[in-house]
Amino acid sequence: MDFVGKRKLWYFLSILVIIPGIIAMATHRPPLNLGIDFTGGNLLQVKFEQPVETSQVREALKEFNLEQASIQTAGPNEFLLRTPVLTEEESTRMLDSLKEKFGNLDIKRNERVGAVIGAELTRKGLYALALATVLMVIYIGFRFEFLFGIAAVVALLHDVLVTVGLFALFRWEVNSAFVAAILTIIGYSINDTIVIFDRIRENLRLRKKESLEELVNKSIAQSLTRCINTVTTVVMALLALLILGGDTTKFFALTLLIGTVSGTYSSIFTASPLWIDLRNLTQGRRRTARAKVRRATSP
């Protein structure tokens, strides 16, 4: 397969997915549908006298548009509910409704809490991400080549934009698990990319008369089976988690699923062709600079 020759098509497909997400983030306020981990809310701990399932509690909360609230089991028939900010009246109405549906309940806690992920933590997280990106470029530049590092980081950015963009487009809730999933995606994607870059580096040492495009195509083809086998097993596990894991892990599994597929796509179709484009661009500028020097020094 001519991965490199059709790179404009792969770039176009990536832009086709990323641009609507960027437009959605630019037009929505806030850009993402932030959950209470970011915005704060109410924390309620209730214990029912009769057996009650998590799904029943979530169904009961639909009446108050709180079906996306975090519901954790805290013991037998005991639940920890984390909802958006509720007034005292809204909180009382919700608890009365639960009591009406499931019988007597003991309210162990009902308090307003701040955001788990505040502005300062978000800012520090972005600083850490920027530092990690710089270190990755330095390491990949040292072990491989500087342009490999740039191509790898652009591929990572591609995966993050695809995932965040889809969440902005469909207004899926973003919570603390989303942040963990994004970091996992970055780790997964760079791993796949490095495998292909390593094969390119090995083939460069053995290169004879073949062009760089042919060499990269051959390197990707040699790594393709490994990449497909890996992503297939991961996707199967994530699909099982998405379908059977329940509402609590649904968006976590969905984030990982989108990011994993995007990471494999970018590793195969974007990173290596982008490295060739960056290399051609750099060499073209060098040739132009040398030609200018020759013209300036010629009699």
What pTM was computed for the model?
0.78
Q: How far apart are the first and last CA of the chain?
A: 50
Tokens of 224: 């393709």
CB atoms within 10 A of CB 272: 27
86: left (phi over 0), alpha (psi -120 to 50) or beta: beta
**Residues 49 and 104 sit within 8 Å (Cβ to Cβ):** yes
Please, is 289 exposed, middle or buried when counting C-beta atoms within 10 Å of its C-beta (0-12, 13-18, 19+)?
Answer: exposed
Closest CA to 266 of 10, 8, 2: 10
Q: What is the pLDDT of residue 115?
A: 63
SS3 253: helix
What is the torsional sign of CA 253, 259, 260, 261?
A: positive
What is the torsional sign of CA 134, 135, 141, 142?
A: positive
**Residues 272 and 216 sit within 8 Å (Cβ to Cβ):** yes
- pLDDT tens, per residue, the chain with 299 residues: 788 889 899 999 999 999 999 999 999 878 888 777 777 778 788 888 888 888 888 888 888 888 777 787 777 888 888 788 788 888 888 888 888 888 888 888 787 766 666 667 677 777 877 888 888 888 888 888 888 989 998 999 999 999 999 999 988 888 778 888 888 888 888 888 888 999 998 988 887 778 888 999 999 999 988 888 889 999 999 999 988 877 677 888 999 999 999 999 999 999 999 999 998 898 888 888 888 888 777 76
Please, is 201 exposed, middle or buried when counting C-beta atoms within 10 Å of its C-beta (0-12, 13-18, 19+)?
Answer: middle
